[in-house]
Amino acid sequence: MRTNRRGFIKAAAWAGGVAGVLTQPGCAAFKAFPDRKGRSMVGFSAAPLEKVRIGIIGVGHRGPGAVGRLSSIPGVEIKAICDLYEDRVAKQIKVVTDKGQPAPKPYFGSPDIWRKLCESPEIDLVYICTPWLWHTPMAVYAMQCGKHAATEVPAAMTVEQCWQLVDTAETTRRHCMILENCCYGYNEMLALMLCRKGVLGDLVHGEAAYIHDLRDSKLKEEKENGYQGQWRLEWSKQHTGNPYPTHGLGPVCQYMDINRGDRFEYLTSVSSGQFGLSQAAAKKYGKTSAQAKMAYKLGDMNTTLIKTYRGKTIMVQHDTTSPRPYSRINLISGTQGLLADYPLRVALAPKAHDWMSDKELDALKAKYVHPLWDKNGEAAKKMGGHGGMDYLMDLRLCHCLQKGLPLDINVYDTALWSSIVELSERSVLRNGASVSVPDFTRGGWKLADPLGIVTV
């Protein structure tokens, strides 16, 4: 299986019913508001779980970190671990047993073995850490098997897949959460506090991004510890737009109460030409190589502008092929001030022409530190995972499941944030034309409560 990995991932994608993801969406119509098949999930809370029993699918890049974090949370038991490769599964089982916990059941070898994990009666939550073409099929099947689903980002690659997630969650009454760890970053939660406390005034504009030089990672063969089947590179060959919008977008949506008092109305998107990946391929493989001559479709920089129903605007950018410092931008602007990140800066009226001094900023951070970070920050930092945000995300998810509370990120957020993948591409292919954004809540956003300031 290792020697035929690239062929397998392509064949598996088609066999799994996601072949349409690999084609250009063009200008074909899609259902923006299909009939509801179940009941609304706005404010939904499931029955509390005394113990959260988790099955993890995929322990290549992101999965091992999830095993370490989840196995450290009280009231959580990892019951199963699944991957194509037996050695990966065995390694993560040892991580669990080394902590004195029961050995999870292993699932490996077959491309469909993950279905057996989803069908297991010993699992409450399926935690998906696979390449992104698998996220929707796995999450949908998990919910159909009566399990809650949590999936890495993006949760879906097409609008149709977004509706599949929504329809399945509403029909099965199971949670479906995108694992957007950046919503739990220290600076993001500080920004949320400033918004909730009215420090920035009425919110007007946000900016978000995923700017991360991934040229080397994209071009690595799997045997070089690259992406499984080079799935990220394959997407760059076939698609434009913004394939990875949620890291920056998710937090801004929470600041602005998107899906909870406001919604996206329409967007427009443009992409630059493609230069960086071809040059990196020429340097790695030679100027006459097939990799260097490949016509990659993903532009180096994509910029998407979103207008909300209540008149706010959001800029979302994506660039993974330029030599730039990492940034999610993380900017939120209101009538009384502004928070901007990378590096963190704050300016407040009536002195908004100047950034706060370091002393003033430290005082602001101390006053408005989010309770989750104030209470669990040190433990989160020790656990690692992007400075602790990953641990707080998992801790909060498991707490909500244990207490029977609504999740901070529901299926409508999961679908909306992910829908930008296809919608941005549609706009780019139409020379930046305006594209309407579906209302995945089907009007539920008008009555939904804003995300509160949680303490545990």
DSSP-assigned states of every residue in 8-25: HHHHHHHHTT-GGGGS--
The residues, ordered by sequence, that sit 6+ positions from 357 with a Cβ below 8 Å of its Cβ are: none
Same domain, 192 and 165: no
What pTM was computed for the model? 0.95
DSSP at 225: T
Shared-domain flag, residues 363 and 345: yes
Give the whole-angstrom CA distance, residue 420 versus residue 252. 14
Residue 396, in any domain of the structure: no
Which of 142, 158, 181 is at the close of a domain?
181
> How many CB atoms lie under 10 A from the CB of residue 178?
28
End-to-end C-alpha distance for the chain, whole angstroms: 44
State the amino acid at position 350 in one-letter form.
Answer: P
Domain containing residue 440? 183-370+408-446
Mean pLDDT by groups of 10 residues along the chain of 456 residues: 41 42 51 85 98 98 97 98 98 98 97 98 98 98 98 98 98 98 98 98 98 96 87 97 98 98 98 98 96 96 98 99 98 98 98 97 98 97 94 98 98 98 98 98 97 89
Q: Are residues 171 and 191 in the same domain?
A: no
**Are 131 and 212 contained in the same domain?**
no
**Listed residue (256, 82, 61) closest to 153, CA to CA:** 61
Residues 241, 160 share a domain: no
Q: DSSP secondary structure string, 177-222? A: EE--GGGGSHHHHHHHHHHHTTTT-SEEEEEEEEE---HHHHHS-G
Statement to judge: residues 304 and 329 lie in one domain: yes
For residues 245 and 153, give the distance between their C-alpha atoms in angstroms, rounded to a whole number. Answer: 9
- b/e sequence 397-420, b meaning 16+ C-beta within 10 Å: bbbbbbeeebbbbbbbbbbbbbbb
- On whether residue 403 sits in a domain, the answer given is no
Q: How do residues 283-339 score in pLDDT, each as one tens digit? A: 999 999 999 999 999 999 999 999 999 999 999 999 999 999 999 999 999 999 999
328, 211 Cβ separation under 8 angstroms? yes
CATH assignment of the domain containing 251:
3.30.360.10
The answer on 198 and 117 residing in a single domain is no
Query: Is residue 296 within 8 Å of residue 189, measured between CB atoms?
Result: no
φ/ψ of residue 172, rounded to 5: -90, -15
Distance CA 252, CA 141 (A): 30
- Co-location of 132 and 36 in the same domain: yes
Beta strands 148-151 and 125-128: pairing type?
Answer: parallel
Task: Let me know whether 81 and 226 are in one domain.
Answer: no
Residue 15 lies in a domain: no
Query: What is the distance between the alpha carbons of residues 420 and 424, in angstroms, rounded to a whole number?
Result: 5
**Total count of domains within the chain:** 2
State pLDDT tens for residues 78-130: 999 999 999 999 999 999 999 999 999 999 999 999 999 999 999 999 999 99
Domain identity same for 165 and 217? no
Same domain, 119 and 232: no
